Amino acid sequence: MTDYAPDLFGYRPAQGDLFGGDAPMATPTPKVDPAAIRLRLHAMLGEVRAVREGSPWSPSTTRLNQLIFPQMANWLPAEERDQLRLEFDAELERLSLKS
């Protein structure tokens, strides 16, 4: 009830908003370095490519990386993002890790 209007039961807040006004709070945009993201993704991809069978990580880390890799790729340009995702998925398929 940031507009100080009574609710359906007639309740009106006794005091104003702590942060004042009806202005929505701005969410800060994190500063991300695409070069750092690119390095991390290529390192993960390199680890997967280096093994002949199984996973280079523990089962829980493998599952985590399957979730993290596509999300981290979102910080890159679309064409590069899609290519890295495709390569990572292909390696997981090759190692039979894709669930």
Cα angle 94-74-28, degrees, rounded to a multiple of 5:
150
98: which DSSP letter? -
90, part of any domain: yes
Question: What pLDDT is stored for residue 26 in this prediction?
Answer: 63
Maximum separation of any 2 CA atoms in the chain, in Å: 69
80, part of any domain: yes
> Which residues does 74 contact at the CB level (< 8 Å), separation at least 6?
81
Average of pLDDT values for 81-94?
Answer: 96
Cα distance between residue 88 and residue 73, in whole Å = 11
What the block records as the tokens of 65 is 């990386």
Q: Which residue has the tokens 């942060």?
A: 19
| Total domains in the fold of the chain | 1
79, part of any domain: yes
23, part of any domain: no
Average of pLDDT values for 45-66?
Answer: 94
Question: What pLDDT is stored for residue 6 in this prediction?
Answer: 67
84, part of any domain: yes
Q: Provide the whole-model pTM.
A: 0.69
Domain ranges, residue 81: 34-94
Question: What pLDDT is stored for residue 31 in this prediction?
Answer: 85
Q: How confident is the model at residue 38 (pLDDT cuts 50, 70, 90)?
A: very high
19, part of any domain: no
27, part of any domain: no
Q: What percent of the chain has pLDDT over 90?
A: 63
77, part of any domain: yes
Question: What pLDDT is stored for residue 41 in this prediction?
Answer: 97
